[in-house]
Amino acid sequence: MRFVKESVIKASPERVFAFHQLPDAFERLLPPWENARIIQTADISQIGSRAVIEQKIFGVVPSRWVAEHTAYDPPRMFEDVQVSGPFASWRHRHTVEPHSDGAILRDEIEFEPPMSLIGRLAAPMLILPKLEKMFEFRHGVTRAWCEAAEPE
């Protein structure tokens, strides 16, 4: 399955990419309604660097998610894949491209839901709306930081 979220941000591609390199970027991007705790953050510039998150799926089922960074091409792209976690598979590519108004931030996720056929049938009602809400939040946080006046 595939999910894509794309936003135009009125800032240079370098600034949009720089946001993702902040030491606390992942913490900033975690929506407050998510029942998740960051155990380990990853350095996106280090291939093989891993992020570890503990969460409760549907608020009750404990899950530990390990994502490894597999590609890094500043200021255009970085990628992470799930090593272990709630999905059968998960590959997340973050891209930043020039745009006449600044930059396009695109999150492309290729995933296979858990529970095979049941998961695929449930994805349009459960997984995709959750991803849309989460990435709307994440793009909003990124936009606010990138479009704010830079400190002098």
pLDDT digits (tens, 9 = 90+) for 11-69: 999 999 999 999 999 999 999 998 899 999 999 999 999 999 999 876 778 899 999 99
- pLDDT-based confidence at 152, cuts 50/70/90? very low
- For the chain, what are the domain ranges? 2-33+71-147
∠ CA 46-88-123, rounded to 5°: 115
- 10 membership: H or E segment, kind and range: none
Within the chain, residue ranges assigned H as helices are: 13-21, 25-29, 116-147
Count of beta carbons in the 10 Å neighbourhood of residue 57: 12
Instruction: Enter the pTM of the model.
Output: 0.92
- Mean per-residue pLDDT for 128-147? 97
- What is the torsional sign of CA 97, 141, 71, 126? negative
Question: Rounded to whole angstroms, how far apart are CA atoms 78 and 93?
Answer: 6
- 69 membership: H or E segment, kind and range: strand 61-73
> For the domain 2-33+71-147, what is the CATH code?
3.30.530.20
